[in-house]
Amino acid sequence: MKSIIAEELVKTYDKGKVRALDSLNLDVEEGTVLGVLGPNGAGKTTTVRILSTLLRPDSGRATVAGIDVIKNPEKVREVIGLSGQYAAVDEILTGYDNLVMFGELYHLGKKNAVARANELLERFSLTEAAKRPIKTYSGGMRRRLDLAASLIVKPKILFLDEPTTGLDPRGRQEMWGVIQELVKGGVTLLLTTQYLEEADQLADEIAVIDTGKVIARGTSDALKKQVGGERLEVVVDASNIPKTVEIVSTVSGNKASLDEGIRMISAPVSTGSQALFEVLKALDSAGIHPLDVGLKRPSLDDVFLSLTGHAAEVKEEAK
């Protein structure tokens, strides 16, 4: 069964001049995670806002848990959780106060709201900070609290709009851990992100969107195959370039390309760390000491380049 269905969604701004969504179609199978991947301005946030009843599309249909988001927004609000790009919590209030307030707004009653707040604070490792105002929290703690606020009534369907944008690597790792836990609990999740790695970590399926349309859809593996997988990159002294080009080409099975300015030789590889090991061995026996060597995983830019033929254009995110 499909938990989320969007059909031919169109949303324009500035009297039709800006087409934020251009007949967007997507669906999410119950209990799975769909990663919506795209650059700023591609229409990710607009999609989430329409599906979570905050915004009405100009045309098209959408259902969440079988409920029409345009005709019955108040019913949809009862089954969804939403956590946006900004941590939407009261800065001045404490983490505990925020969660109790949202619990009461969900009509849990004071006693249950308190119990649920404590449970969520514990689960998201925020118990120690519970009685401190949010303004003293780190970026990662704020996002975790915001996520906790969206989980108060144990929604079956969750929308996370760029949950790790702006977080440092550690905050991102923690957030991923929390989201993975949630997914194990069986929630249906639609997650937007600008990072291929994040979609790779968290999503069962990825929909790539550009200029308001889904331009590719599939599992992370399938997308990567389309993109061409990893690239091996080696930087050496100028005198060793010809020999290194030869070695990298042999290991890769493809002709290596050379960037003379930075003396970097690179080629696509399909065997990952195995290829890295082979290149190092070959370089060593040829007496070449590389200045830098590594595997570069495909980025969002690589995905876009191979899918659209142009780099990910960053536009002003339409609100």
213-218, strands of its sheet edge to edge: 80-83, 157-161, 188-193, 33-37, 205-210, 213-218
**Shorter beta-carbon distance to another protein: residue 96 or 304:** 96
Site for another protein in 39-78 (CB under 8 A): 49, 52-56, 74, 77-78
Q: Is 94 helix (H, G, I), strand (E, B) or coil?
A: strand
Of the candidate residues 42, 87, 108, 276, the single one contacting another protein (CB under 8 A): 87
Give me 91's structure tokens. Answer: 């800065």
Supply the angle between the helices 273-285 and 241-252 in degrees, to the nearest 10: 140
Of the candidate residues 20, 24, 149, 179, the single one contacting another protein (CB under 8 A): 149
Of the candidate residues 40, 106, 119, 228, the single one contacting another protein (CB under 8 A): 106
Q: How far apart are CA 117 and CA 111, in angstroms?
A: 10
Q: How far apart are CA 41 and CA 268, in angstroms?
A: 30
Instruction: Work out how close the CB of 236 gets to another protein at its nearest, in angstroms, rounded to a whole number.
Output: 49
Q: Which residues are CB-contacts of 73 (< 8 A; sequence separation ≥ 6)?
A: 53
For another protein, how many residues bind (rule: CB under 8 A)?
31
- Answer yes or no: are the C-beta atoms of 230 and 269 closer than 8 Å: yes
**Shorter beta-carbon distance to another protein: residue 190 or 264:** 190
Of the candidate residues 5, 10, 93, 258, the single one contacting another protein (CB under 8 A): 93
Stretch that binds another protein, among 94-102, 201-209, 238-246, 249-257 (CB under 8 A): 94-102
Instruction: Work out how close the CB of 80 gets to another protein at its nearest, in angstroms, rounded to a whole number.
Output: 7
Q: How far apart are CA 162 and CA 23, in angstroms?
A: 22
Instruction: Work out how close the CB of 74 gets to another protein at its nearest, in angstroms, rounded to a whole number.
Output: 6
Please tell me whether residue 192 binds another protein under the rule CB under 8 A: no
- Answer yes or no: are the C-beta atoms of 268 and 254 closer than 8 Å: yes
Instruction: Work out how close the CB of 210 gets to another protein at its nearest, in angstroms, rounded to a whole number.
Output: 23
| Interface residue list for another protein (CB under 8 A) | 49, 52-56, 74, 77-78, 80, 82, 84-93, 97, 101-102, 104-107, 133, 149, 319
